[in-house]
Structure 1
Amino acid sequence: MKLIRLTCTALFLLFSRFVFAQNATISGKVEDTSNHSALSYVSIGLYKSADSSLVTGTLSKDDGSFSIAKQLPGTYYLKIQFMGYNTSITPQFSINKNENKQMGLIGVKPTSTFLKEIAVTGKRAGNLNKIDKQTYRADQFEAAKGGSAVDVLKNLPSVAVSGQGEISVRGATGFQVMINGKPVLSDAQTILSQLPANSLENVELITAPSAKYDADGKAGIINIITKKGANDGITFTANAQGGLPSTTDYNNLKQPQRFGGDATLNFRKNKWDISVGGNYTRNDTEGFREGDVFVKNRTENTITRLPSEGERSFNRYNYAGRANIGYNIDGNNTLSLGFFAGKKFQDRLAALDYHNTTSDLTTNALLKSNPYYNNNLETKEGNFTLGNLDYSHSFKDKSTLSTSFLYEKDNLYGNDRNLNLKSDAPNAALIQLVYNPYTKPLEGYRFKIDHAIALGKGKLESGYQFRYDTQEGNYGYEIDPVPATPDYDRFIGSAKSKNIINAFYSQYSGKASKLEYVGGLRYEYSKRTVDLVKNTSVQPSHQLNLSNLFPSANILYSFSDFWKLKAGYSKRIQRTSNNELNPIAEREHSESLEQGDPDVLPEFVNLTELGLIKNFNKGSVFATAYYQQVKNPIQRVNSIYADSILNRLFTNAGKARSLGLEIGTNYQVNKWWNFYVGGNVYNYRIKGDLTILGTTTPIYNQTWVYSVNANTNFQLAKAWSLQANVNYLSNRPTAQGEDSRFLSPNMSLKKSFLDGRFAATFQWQNIDLGMKESNRQRITTSGADFYTTTNYIYEPDVLIINLSFNLDKLKTKDKLPKTEFGDKEF
């Protein structure tokens, strides 16, 4: 706390000369005259009355408010401009020295064309490009209804989701997740799968984050904006979902269950803004796995082959409750309290028939054959709890000071049971049973303080952040029958990891005529410690201290209202997860172990992008070229543990880079048909040396990768709509092999009732029709003396029905925008 007090004092001293500046301020609020709703991101220009020259400008905030500070006494007028609205010019007004000029409500009137489009289609723009981010409206993707935030994300142009559920942005799997601007400490995939799609308002992609954001996330930041009440009153939404098993039967032991629901209640009145919600989702998956492995033993001159096939299915559910309370103490002070608690459960069953053979490496003569049945059950559970407390104060000169405290505590536990039998018959003879239970509770918190003040024609922001997180994993190992020389030191023990990060930043943003800009610098000092106990032997501590600067810069130049150019640069870091650091081995499958490396280094990334945006009457199109340079890319690689077992571990792999192009367009063809298409294509190259258990091997892999996400909507009648979408991800390289392409087509039919307050949506997911192309993925790796390929086949042609109810007392705004630790380890 002493450090925080010193930091606050330094910030105030730094900015004190600005607090007492002798300048006037102009404030007001912009609203839509047709429904009296606030309008955000409206352009407000300040002009001199004498010669109509532009002095400065700004954009309205989420609530429509704006403030223009540091102006000299004189006579001025305001010009308010926004796409789809008539330009509004205020009467002339005079301001005096140190005056706080209140303009009150300024109304802007929608154009007649805009009003007609709203009356006919009832649609809002699906995406918006700004200087530092792209914003997408979540409810435009009907196929995601009843699903999770992942189902929304996979439709965005730069996002791809693989068959394993791995999320990537511009080809990179590491990114920071924020919910309503608050970082989440947990793993991205886990926390996003717990957020119901129906609770999302918008998704923001920040691909070149500025210095005020955490430096975490090599692919940038995904910020999830949840629904809130738009104006005074009550808003209530509820959804229920149920589904049938796939039309394709994989003879799994259990039929999958699919059902769930979620509800959100928003209350906004006077100084209070309260939102509460909850959800439960059961979403099992049938599946099948085909695998083939061979391992060469040159010492014995043999080759062992391990072909396998059988069930690979998932039982999973999650439930959560969430609440946020906002209180506007007065015009200068606001307080916000947030809370989230949830549970996630998953078990994955791999029931496989193996036919192992060992042959002479030279003659290929069969030496022995060993068929057996492997029942591998992996169970993971997690209880997640997090809360945040935020406070913001505005000073008389319109500078602001805000503080935020976030706390997260997650209880993570599970086990692996690997059972080998002579066959799958009842009472079959036991070959080997391996059981790996674990617990790895996690706790973390962060505190930050930010100060912002008008300086010149822009804004100066500075702040400090402290972060602390720790996880203590305890790992067990039981084996039956016990081997003559059991390797308990390799499988039993504990791994405690701790991260401490101190960060300072400062950045300046502003607008000069047609140019918007922001530039800043962030400094971080971090300390990572990993303490290990193998069996009962205490190991030397592994420590890593880092001191780094993270510069950033973004510009947006408007040639006109329709053409814009943007550019950005950001240096990022992808910190190691505790799973990547844990060297205690886990028997993940019959033919594989998995372990981490306590000395693996974090990845450092330089992100650069250059984009062009074109807006037109019926839509928009954008194209962004980008370059990502990665130092110390972390890879999961294979080595030989035994003739029939591979060892998978995490290690750094030299350097990597991606050079790509991201494009996206949305177009309203006519009043009943619109479409949205996004794509990403990049060239990925990785080269350097892989050091695996003391052995160094040079690697070089390069290829082109692309993904396409397309979505089209047909308004069949006033209350009927049909939507189709497809997600496609091409083959892509890894350090030792390749992951195959992944295809997922979907279709949705929606019927609205009671003026849109009730809706029924019929979904057809992973359309395949017997072609054996959808919802399947092959993963292949190889080395000098091993080869492994596995084809994961998930159920296609799944039918889902989603029912939703929406009670909104007042109209919502016709506008767009408005846990960091545990999931990473789940």
Structure 2
Amino acid sequence: MKFKILLLSLLSTISFLQAQNSNQGAFALGSISGKVIDKSSSQPIPYVNVSVKLDGKVVTGGITQDNGSFSIKNLELKQYVVEFQFMGYKTQTVSVNLNDATKNVNLNTISLEEEAVQLEGVEIVSERSTVVQKIDRKVINIGKDLIASGNTASEIMNNIPTVSVDPQTKELSLRGNSNVRVLIDGKPSNIDSAQLLQQIPSSSIKQIELITNPSAKYNPEGMSGIINIILHKNSQQGFNGSINSGVTFGVTPKVNSALNLNYKVGKVNFYTNYGFNHGKNENHGYIDSFRPTLENHQDFGGSNLNTSHLIKLGMDYYINEKNTISFYTSQNIVNGGGIGFTNVNYSDLLLRDSRQTSDSETDNHTQTYDLAYKHDFTKKGETLDFQANFSNTDSPENSDYEYTQTNPTSTRFTNNDIARDTDYLQINVDYVNPLSESVKLEIGAETRLQKITNDFVETVSEPSLSYNRLGHSNFEFTRNIHSFYTNIGKQWKKWSVQAGVRLEQYEIDGDFSNVVTSSNPTENINDQSTIKDDIFSIYPSLFFNYKASDKDSFNFNFSRRVDRPSIGQISPIREWTTPLVESRGNPSLEPQFTNSFETNYTRTTKIGSITAGVFFRQINDEISRVIYKNPDNNNQDIISYDNFDDNHAIGAEVSANLKLTKWWSVNASSDAYFKTVRGTVQNANSGLQERAEADVVIFNARMNNNFVATKKLRFNLFGMYRGKDLGLQFERKPMYKMDIGSTYTILKGKGSITARLNDVFQTMHFGFDGSIPYRQAGAFYWESRTFYLGFNYMFGGGKNSAMQRKQRDQNETQSGGGLL
């Protein structure tokens, strides 16, 4: 219904503009004006669709302004019927007679009465999801079919075309690339996206925008683009909210709950959100290593118990119709711990087998404070937005390791004490000015200041050898980014174009120190190093859209992107270690730049829409994983990062959102892309760096089927296939699974019960086989087959507020009422 009203508003506006152009220079024309208000509250209602009809046909029209007023000019002197239509209100009509005596008619105040059935909960949700291709993004309007496929944002993401969520790490990827940024209502979050997506109930999501080639307005970081999650905005006076809770049964049960509350009174809107996650996750795996003279089999496994609390408190204050100020704070607290083991059995009986066990405790506390101000100028569409966001993350970790070798038996004890602290400040201002009916200008500036401190203390003792070692590493890192952007867009006839450029100054400064004191004097170390960089970059973007007809549209776009190394990728402090493998960053890592080209075609039919597209990426200094020997321990490998040569990727994708029958709808997608990977890897025998190259063809597909049994009962069947991927050192094996589920609506549509069995045949796991720097093969397993049972309930109600509805419609920039 909302889509139809918006479409009618758009068509009416276009007709209105065409009528104005065609009548310019004419005379003996009239006008109709007035103001639309809510009958019960007497508040003005903006964005009401006003249609002027002649003999039952719409000849022109428009929409009401922020203050509810409207004025339709250049009308021939005839007898008209003016119709006022807006969602949630009864349609009203008024007859108007324009003649020589009365050319300009003022209808004064038009009072609209709300429908007898009031909206309750957050918003009415359509039966099935729809996909809309816009000039710079693909928009998925979330329907009940996708909500039924998962309880959280993380779970329904796997049903979105070209989006994948790693079933174990919950890492998000777009078009097979994990370098993707996640925004909530157009704003970044300081909370890790994997955790954040598990805290957002699927029922709270209104739209998901896939911005595979972001314009200059957006931060250029992330090679594969941006995923913007738009949440429902509460549009009601009074108290209302929702509760979402569920249990996932695997090896052990896990709970996930979220409570959203909203209270709107007068000009103030208060909201609070609370998310809770608790559960233990089991995993295991193996690696067969064929390293010359050190052939071995490794078994590993463990469990992690995590409890997280995400609390958000905020308010929106509508000073007047032109000014709004918002503030929120979020507190994210995670307490976790885990135990693990790694067994190494060598083929050579002369080598000593080993076993390492670990016991760790981790804490993470992220506190965020956000202030936003929005000003609407008198000119329609002219706005000014200001935002300041500060966050601090404190994440200490303490781990104990016990390493035992056999024949003869010896034991070594290690304690790692890690302190991590991050301060982040972001300030940005955005200005939008419609220079004319067909031209829009956007300009903005942004500053991001980040300071990270990592402090690592390692204590090692081996009582049988009277061996002791104390290591202390410290890494302080600052990153400052200052940017300015401008976009200008123009529409004419069936064409629309948007061009922009973003200028950024990127500065980093890092200091690393590593001091080791050992009972073995040869191990004593006192290293000091620094990292400095100062880069000025230009990021252009260009978008073309051609709407050939109401059913066919074409889109072409280009943008330049960057992937800057994260703190984990450049910190020389090790991330984790086993007897044979250690993970650490590379301080000399350089940013990766990508030139991205893309074109799409969308066809709308009676049963849905189909989108096909191709893309090409030119990648400079590609960042990738690399394995090499530890120079300080010949028996251990280092997993790190390095810049490979310039690479490229080309691919195609097809997605469809179809309602095949009244009871069966399908959301399906497939993509295939080809890439050439070039770089330098280490030869296991010589230890020298050698050039390597690999050509890769990757194919992915998924299908989400929704079956409506009754008005209250629906079923879901989901299947996915992720093809093999080949890198310079490893080949990732194909992954596939099937899920089944059902949702039953209760409590007069306010509540629902969802049941789902994931990975029915338990086929989902991560397998790999590699030959560089030497042959290795293995697999990782987790709790892929689980049963989920969840409950969702929306409560409260009240009368719709026009002022709050205006904020809801501007959902790309509002922060209120949602999780961040």
TM (norm. structure 1) is: 0.80
Change (3 A) 1:207 1:808: farther
* Partners of 1:520 and 1:220 in 2: CA distance: 16
Contact 2:460 2:468 in 1 (8 A): no
Q: How does 1:343-742 map to 2 (within 5 A)?
A: 343-358=333-348, 368-377=350-359, 379-398=361-380, 399-421=382-404, 430-456=410-436, 457-481=438-462, 492-535=472-515, 537=526, 539-641=528-630, 642-690=633-681, 696-742=689-735
Shift of 1:717: 1.5
> 2:789 aligns to what?
801
**CA offsets per residue over residues 743-769 of structure 1, 9 Å max, x none?**
23211121211221122111111211x
> 2:281 aligns to what?
285
Letter in 2 for 1:661: A
Contact 1:418 1:587 in 2 (8 A): no
* Partners of 1:511 and 1:90 in 2: CA distance: 34
**CA offsets per residue over residues 1-38 of structure 1, 9 Å max, x none?**
xxxxxxxxxxxxxxxxxxxxxxxxxxxxxx9799x999
**CA offsets per residue over residues 491-530 of structure 1, 9 Å max, x none?**
6311111111110111101321222221101100110111
Contact 2:204 2:232 in 1 (8 A): yes
Change (3 A) 1:790 1:347: farther
Query: Which of 737, 755, 770 pairs up with 2:748?
Result: 755
Shift of 1:49: 4.7
Q: Secondary structure at the match of 2:156?
A: helix
**CA offsets per residue over residues 235-293 of structure 1, 9 Å max, x none?**
321122123334xxxxxxxxx23123111123345433333211111243223212112
Shift of 1:311: 2.8
* Partners of 2:11 and 2:661 in 1: CA distance: 26
**CA offsets per residue over residues 428-465 of structure 1, 9 Å max, x none?**
96522333221111110111112221224311111111
Q: How does 1:235-246 map to 2 (within 5 A)?
A: 235-246=240-251
**CA offsets per residue over residues 556-583 of structure 1, 9 Å max, x none?**
2111111111111111111111111111
Letter in 1 for 2:427: F
Aligned residues: CA RMSD: 4.1
> 2:521 aligns to what?
none
Q: Secondary structure at the match of 1:44?
A: helix
> 1:202 aligns to what?
207
Residues 1:181 and 2:186 aligned together: yes
* Partners of 1:449 and 1:583 in 2: CA distance: 36
* Partners of 1:717 and 1:762 in 2: CA distance: 16
Change (3 A) 1:595 1:796: closer
Identity %: 19
Change (3 A) 1:50 1:342: closer
Change (3 A) 1:651 1:267: same
Change (3 A) 1:74 1:260: closer
* Partners of 1:486 and 1:640 in 2: CA distance: 25
Shift of 1:315: 2.4
> 1:788 aligns to what?
776
Letter in 1 for 2:183: M
Contact 1:530 1:541 in 2 (8 A): yes
Shift of 1:190: 3.9
* Partners of 2:65 and 2:200 in 1: CA distance: 35
Change (3 A) 1:290 1:32: closer
**CA offsets per residue over residues 182-202 of structure 1, 9 Å max, x none?**
123454334334434343332
Shift of 1:378: 5.2
Residues 1:322 and 2:289 aligned together: no
Shift of 1:39: 8.9
Q: How does 1:65-76 map to 2 (within 5 A)?
A: 75=74
Shift of 1:168: 1.5
Change (3 A) 1:628 1:277: same
Contact 2:342 2:578 in 1 (8 A): no
Query: Which of 227, 241, 244 pairs up with 2:232?
Result: 227
Letter in 1 for 2:635: S
Q: In terms of mean alpha carbon deviation, does 801-810 or 458-467 score higher?
A: 801-810
Gaps of 5+ in 1: 1-30, 111-119, 247-255, 297-302, 359-365, 819-826
Change (3 A) 1:498 1:511: same
Residues 1:129 and 2:133 aligned together: yes
- Greater relative contact order (CA < 8 Å, ≥ 6 in sequence): 1
* Partners of 2:561 and 2:541 in 1: CA distance: 9
* Partners of 1:276 and 1:596 in 2: CA distance: 38
* Partners of 1:664 and 1:811 in 2: CA distance: 39
* Partners of 2:7 and 2:220 in 1: CA distance: 33
Q: Secondary structure at the match of 2:154?
A: helix
TM (norm. structure 2) is: 0.80
Query: Which of 2, 5, 17 pairs up with 1:47?
Result: 17
* Partners of 2:46 and 2:414 in 1: CA distance: 58
Change (3 A) 1:749 1:186: closer
Q: How does 1:208-219 map to 2 (within 5 A)?
A: 208-219=213-224
Q: In terms of mean alpha carbon deviation, does 698-707 or 72-81 score higher?
A: 72-81
* Partners of 1:89 and 1:621 in 2: CA distance: 41
* Partners of 2:397 and 2:596 in 1: CA distance: 37
Shift of 1:531: 0.8
Query: Which of 317, 335, 343 pairs up with 2:325?
Result: 335
Letter in 2 for 1:715: V
Change (3 A) 1:184 1:262: closer
* Partners of 1:550 and 1:90 in 2: CA distance: 54
* Partners of 2:464 and 2:645 in 1: CA distance: 38
Q: Secondary structure at the match of 1:492?
A: strand
* Partners of 2:609 and 2:527 in 1: CA distance: 60
Query: Which of 234, 248, 255 pairs up with 1:259?
Result: 255
* Partners of 2:95 and 2:291 in 1: CA distance: 78
Residues 1:162 and 2:166 aligned together: yes
Letter in 1 for 2:701: V
Contact 1:172 1:219 in 2 (8 A): yes
Q: In terms of mean alpha carbon deviation, does 324-333 or 307-316 score higher?
A: 307-316
Contact 1:145 1:802 in 2 (8 A): no
Letter in 2 for 1:382: N
Shift of 1:663: 1.7
Letter in 2 for 1:472: T
* Partners of 2:659 and 2:163 in 1: CA distance: 23
Contact 1:492 1:584 in 2 (8 A): no
Shift of 1:618: 2.3
Contact 1:295 1:644 in 2 (8 A): no
